Structure 1
Amino acid sequence: MSDEPVDLDKHRGMAAQKATGLRRALAEVENNLRELREREADLESRLLTVPAASWPEAAAKARYVLNLYAASLPADDTRHRALVAALFDDFARLSGEG
């Protein structure tokens, strides 16, 4: 008896290997998405409970909310996308980033 694991993928056909690879990739994506949602929930909880101590901190909160808003805009809503981009430019200019 050997302590080394047997690579079962070698004993499967090509279609089964591809299906297994797809299931593994999907499981990894789902796990990463769940972790991302947990981190987003933690960040949003902090943004809600910790008041900004300065204008740059308030702008960082606003950037987060604007990014959420921009992500929900339809691709053809160029007017609102341009408005969000202009606000980001204003934040950068006023904070000395740009």
Structure 2
Amino acid sequence: MTKKTKASPPSSPALGSWQLQDAKARFSELVRRVRSEGPQRVSVHGRDEVVVVSVEEFNRLKGERTGAALIDALQASPYRDVEIEPKRASMPVRGIDL
């Protein structure tokens, strides 16, 4: 005869770290923790694979796509005053009959 034991509820993951199967099963809790505690790591087979972050944090990290960084880099260049004039090569023109 086998002895039946009462299954204990799954334990709460360590602060900011989830195994994939726990993250899938308790996704709502994962989202709540992202909002209240910050980024949460999700591991697969013991290796950190992804980090879940809030949309505000994602937008902050991604930055705005204004082109400002490119403009700043070009303006800081020591070659800023170099004139770039494309060479124009004369192309042979083929005559046509109309």
The TM-score range, normalised by the shorter chain, is: under 0.3
More helix by share: 1
Larger radius of gyration: 2
More strand by share: 2
